[in-house]
Copies of this chain bind each other. A is one copy, B any other.
Amino acid sequence: MAGWGMAFLAALLLAAAPAVAPSPAEIVAAAPAEAWQAVPAEELLVLDFAGARRLVVQLAPAFAPTHVANVRTLVRDGWYARHAAIVRVQDNYVVQWGDPTGKVPLPQGVAHRPNDGYERPGLPPGFRALPFADSYGARVGHAGGWAVATDGTAHWLPHCPGMVGVGREMPPDTGSGAELYLVIGHGPRQLDRNIALVGRVLEGAEALAALPRGTGALGFYESADQHVKLVSARLGADMPQAERPRFEVMRTDGAAFAAWVDARANRRDPFFVRPAGGADICNLLPPIRPALSR
């Protein structure tokens, strides 16, 4: 790792004119193949909503194991495709989909109130803390290609734009996964450890974020005509290889990622007059790209 890291940094310094520091986007574009890790087909969830709106999600079984298992069961049963639609779009907050009636029974094998999705014990393997403070009192950093927050004894995914979570009712309900939402606004970090996050969007968030806002309380659509049907829900592992979307996430343990974090927190590219010297975890979500054809 150190080998290609140093070579990458040297190449980057040579490539950039001495007077012009590379922007975060330039660092991403220059990162070598080794800086990226493929998203496993087993973690891919492909949701096709009416209106040709495709959301490609990477599931996070390491962070919410039983909720993710529930999602897989609901997909394979065909439950989402039969029953789910977008029912809520609240501005600067969430797009949410589920069974509009709230009454359709769930398939066998869906766990009721799983208690392991709010946080996981200890630190995740390879956790690297950021040197920046967190307003929510956590330590924040990265591990295994994910942004992570921790209090030292447990860790969890932070609520940032593009994260996918599990709608629920009042505690001790933790949600089953039958109702999911996408964060579309300023990261509602107050939900950390209060709602199970099951993944993140790899592609397609903008099509959902541009839906009309619901005019009911909490952004719920007031008429069933406004619902956006979930037409198809598939797991990458179940799709023919040729149809399967392929994405890569930047490794969070490499030199390119470290250079990118540093450039995001200390913007030295010509547009900027004064770098901040810090950044919050929702502005430091690992870069994602479609896999290059081979």
Contacts and interface: CB of A to CB of B under 8 A. Distances in A.
Interface-centre pick from A132, A162, A190 (highest chain B CB count, 10 A): A190
Report the contact-size class of chain A (Cβ under 8 Å from the partner): 35 or more
A188 interface: yes
Interface string A254-284: 0000000000110100111111111111110
Interface in A184-226: 184-190, 192-194, 205-207, 209-213
Given A161-B92, A171-B270, A264 B190 contact: yes
B137 A161 contact: no
B271 A170 contact: yes
Q: What DSSP secondary structure best describes chain A's contact surface? A: loop
Interface string A75-112: 00000000000000101100000000000000000000
A136 B278 contact: yes
A50 interface: no
A135 interface: yes
Contacts of A205: 91-92
14 contacts: A91-B209, A133-B133, A133-B134, A133-B135, A133-B137, A135-B281, A136-B279, A136-B280, A137-B278, A185-B185, A189-B279, A190-B265, A206-B213, A210-B210
The 6 A-B residue pairs with the shortest CB-CB distance, nearest first, are A133-B133, A91-B206, A135-B280, A137-B278, A206-B213, A136-B276
